[in-house]
Amino acid sequence: MTDKELFEIAEKAKEYSYSPYSNFRVGAALLCEDGKVFTGTNVENASFGATVCAERVALVKAVSEGCKTFTKIAISADKNPCSPCGICRQSLIEFSPEMQVIYMSQDGCLVNVNLKDLLLNNFVL
């Protein structure tokens, strides 16, 4: 699957965003090694700390259905760039440090970076 195809899936996932507090919609599409794609969107809550980012929604959906190795994640948001937050980087790197992260730059080009370059010296237990 191309970066553009995966990003288009993330754009569609963004439509389901529940973000009445920030009005900032995010969609994610997570590509597994077997070709399956899991989508996610941000789900906010009046208790702000209970908010879950789009990337972690996709991750939890995938892992809970037996998929634990990922090649790419694409993220689409209402404002560019939107690269994953620190908690999402840490959550993803546990499973696939070699995976690629795709998002749109401020000038509208798709960026593809390695997750391990976004998070150096991640926490390991």
Query: Among all residues, which ones are annotated catalytic?
Result: 55
Between 50 and 125, CB nearer to ligand THU: 50
Binding letters toward ligand THU, positions 45-84, x by CB under 6 A: ------x-xxx--------------------------x-x
Is position 122 an interface residue for ligand THU (rule: CB under 6 A)? no
Peptide bond preceding 97 in cis form (omega within 30 of 0): no
Question: What is the full DSSP assignment across 36-61?
Answer: -EEEEE-B--SSGGG-B-HHHHHHHH
Considering CB under 6 A, how many residues would be counted as binding ligand THU? Answer: 14
Site string for ligand THU, 7-46 (x = CB under 6 A): ------------x--x-x-x---------------x-x--
Closest CA to 73 of 16, 114, 24: 114
